[in-house]
Structure 1
């Protein structure tokens, strides 16, 4: 069983709110939940919207969109169309370094459901839908919690593939609607309903932590809720701290807490650099990271982003460029493959990174890498290209000396230890049998997005990752290879 199937352990800085009771219980069933948390108020629509506005509740899935604005748009669309809205809990956490939503749904599911039920009752929702990753603890924990409690409307759980794009809001809604779990080709707001909503109804979607924060705020009230955190960003934040050789730790801390304090309580030094915000986040120099306040505004001042709150401190013993290359290749294969930035830009960037990490790329390859990432930004149907570009470009700045060593010669001399977390189960890949390959070059024609040919017509790599959207081209290349030199290996 992989670490992602295990409910994460927790630690707190200051008074526990979201993790209250988890020092005594491994999981809060309804009986334990009611002993730990006071009775839940039932604010009417306008009171709930006012509460969310007064604490400036923002989405905790990465985008940070104001909850009240999204909720008002959903309610207005429902009134305009004469329909009832749908409440969606996004628990499809497909990013390897993030575990906070998985922790909430596994260990304190009723706190998340409290927030969703508050909105469902206040806004007259038709149903509540909770999206979880297939095989995650939430797949069993959430239905068990639903069976224990009274609900203001019907509720159901939908299991989605554990892929990076499954957590994108449009992809999640498509999955709930029974369609392929991919971001829609045209950006649209679920709050407006129509093709972008669940069952074409206005849809209010937020991630698990956002709903849990709403439940905490409803119990405390705006003044008590804002007693911790910063003036602009009150309350606490949930952070996933990834520890080499150990399971991730979910830490609750007041907004604005220094990153150094979170690393210290987690037993980690800042290492060679600290990633904040996960694989769509950015890298910070270790000296700057220690004093960085963990808030949206505080990190933005340092060129960082809070994102979904995932933190990785990269040890100095591993090759930074090799680590970045592993993740960039995975991000390229995890894309939806629907638009140019994902189909061409991200694979081109991953290939350039691989050449630099191997010490076979020079200044021109580094320039190609920056050009590919620059072209990928701002042009996709979702934020995947932009987030991937932020992750890689910030790494090139923070690890500039290591990049220079790889550009100028054989590299930094350190091994790639594989410390940036990735799924243990490898995806499909094309493998080249060099004893058979005769350099016909047909594979490069049949699968141009997969197979890159060198100057003599041979593939430049013996093992080529295959994204789900590239499966057809991969099979065609295998079936039509004149020398039978290609093999499609599946996990």
Structure 2
């Protein structure tokens, strides 16, 4: 999505989006005129400022930024002390100092998010200010900006050139899991851009094995604003517990800067959005709010938690009237299952079961209990947070759309079509799904043995195909299943045309 199609609004006055009403992009001269010249506080002062306003990461986890910054600094100090303790100059020369690395995570694998792309494309110097502030405090010049968008990459490279900064841009593959911190580190290190499976703190060993401060785009922009305004002025917006503003992407096409403490309804009214049966907050790893929860929700961690929601990565996706909520949720669950890295049981087998249970709920043949049972498999034991995030999404749909579940169970449907209003990536031609040519299928069952993640057998021994895109990690197994089908009944088809998508 081009940021030219994104509308930017604000409530209570702009900070991160200051100047957006006058300029499509703030070059260095415009940036300094709007935000002032860069100030570089010392590490202890910067940590104290972040603690005073309880600055949290804006990527979804909400981790305290001061703790992350202090952890990287402590790791650098330990490495330097260990190096100094070596007996001679020759031994010290053999062990290079572990310079810290600052990584701006500009990956927005979420189809419904545009806030970070907007910042990188329109206010790249604000983001780079934040990165440079952190790098200076840590005593390093190593800054890396990881991005998925061509537009964002061009803007950041131009900004790096404008300020003659020793930083580099790394392009990432645009996938849902590409923004996970471990996946970003692996991509920068030249490895497969998937979560590592084993939890390793970036502050201990990140880029090139060095202590790494990794946070998302908006967090660094917030750091720059905090340093520019000072703690008192920064805390003049927001609530006492959660000072400042944050960015939201509403409906995938509108970016809103709003102070913490703003009612969610005020944000939706500003965007001229009339929510229907539910609003998804926090993105596709977030939670659904029903009508009552939407009316009471307040934009803050505490306020969202009170109604069963989350701010998460700042994504707000209202579901309009007229589309089937369960069908929409099943559609997204299918997408999430296909986006997994396929490196652990909860993803390989657990997510397909979640999709089957969610689809059965939508067609009236399943139950909420079946979905809860499927979503509980492997809880907390995934190689990353993707299976748990997907489970959270579908389970919140069960709570928010209880009446729709009853209608589907009693009548097989709520009577509404599925319009597909929740945003998904535009197909690039590489996607495909498994399909059965029933005029050929004899029920040998070999496909269910070769690709059990995608195919199960009914009680008569005939295949039931999971209706998801084929995950990248399964393409080779799917090709083998198609080739080995004794009746030549198995096909890979384009989901739109239902014609062969590629030769198998």
Same fold (TM over 0.5): yes
Deviation by residue 1:331-386 (Cα, 9 ceiling, x = unmatched): 11111111121111111010111122223x133xx322111112242121221122
Could you tell me how far 1:42 is from its partner in structure 2? 1.5
Query: Superposed, which structure 2 residues align to 1:73-152 within 5 Å?
Result: 73-82=71-80, 83-133=98-148, 135-151=149-165
Is 1:428–1:467's contact at 8 Å kept on the other side of the alignment?
Answer: no
Supply the distance in 2 between the matched residues of 1:208 and 1:322 (Cα, whole angstroms): 33
Deviates more, 1:278-287 or 1:256-265: 278-287
Of 11, 14, 33, 2:12 maps to 14
Q: Where does structure 1 differ by over 6 angstroms across 4 or more consecutive aligned residues?
A: none
SS in 2 for 1:344: helix
Is 1:6–1:137's contact at 8 Å kept on the other side of the alignment?
Answer: no
SS in 1 for 2:395: helix
Supply the distance in 2 between the matched residues of 1:314 and 1:300 (Cα, whole angstroms): 20
Equivalent residue, structure 1, for 2:68: 70
Could you tell me how far 1:16 is from its partner in structure 2? 0.4
Is 1:7–1:107's contact at 8 Å kept on the other side of the alignment?
Answer: no
Count of matched residue pairs: 476
Residue 202 of structure 2 is aligned to residue 190 of structure 1: yes
Could you tell me how far 1:408 is from its partner in structure 2? 2.6
Residue 241 of structure 2 is aligned to residue 236 of structure 1: no
Supply the distance in 1 between the matched residues of 2:23 and 2:209 (Cα, whole angstroms): 40
Is 1:432–1:462's contact at 8 Å kept on the other side of the alignment?
Answer: no
Query: Superposed, which structure 2 residues align to 1:445-484 within 5 Å?
Result: 445-461=449-465, 464-484=468-488
Supply the distance in 1 between the matched residues of 2:2 and 2:349 (Cα, whole angstroms): 30
Change (3 A) 1:345 1:462: closer
Equivalent residue, structure 2, for 1:395: 397
Rg (Cα) greater in structure = 2
Could you tell me how far 1:462 is from its partner in structure 2? 8.1
Change (3 A) 1:67 1:463: closer
Deviation by residue 1:195-251 (Cα, 9 ceiling, x = unmatched): xx1000000000000000000000000000000101111000100000xxxx61000
Equivalent residue, structure 2, for 1:342: 347
Could you tell me how far 1:10 is from its partner in structure 2? 0.5
Equivalent residue, structure 2, for 1:294: 299
Gaps of 5+ in 1: none
Supply the distance in 1 between the matched residues of 2:170 and 2:468 (Cα, whole angstroms): 32
Could you tell me how far 1:7 is from its partner in structure 2? 5.9
Change (3 A) 1:7 1:89: farther
Supply the distance in 2 between the matched residues of 1:307 and 1:202 (Cα, whole angstroms): 26
Compute the RMSD of aligned alpha carbons: 1.5
Change (3 A) 1:292 1:373: same
SS in 2 for 1:452: strand
Change (3 A) 1:408 1:101: same
Query: Superposed, which structure 2 residues align to 1:308-327 within 5 Å?
Result: 308-327=313-332
Give me the TM-score of the superposition, normalised by structure 1: 0.94
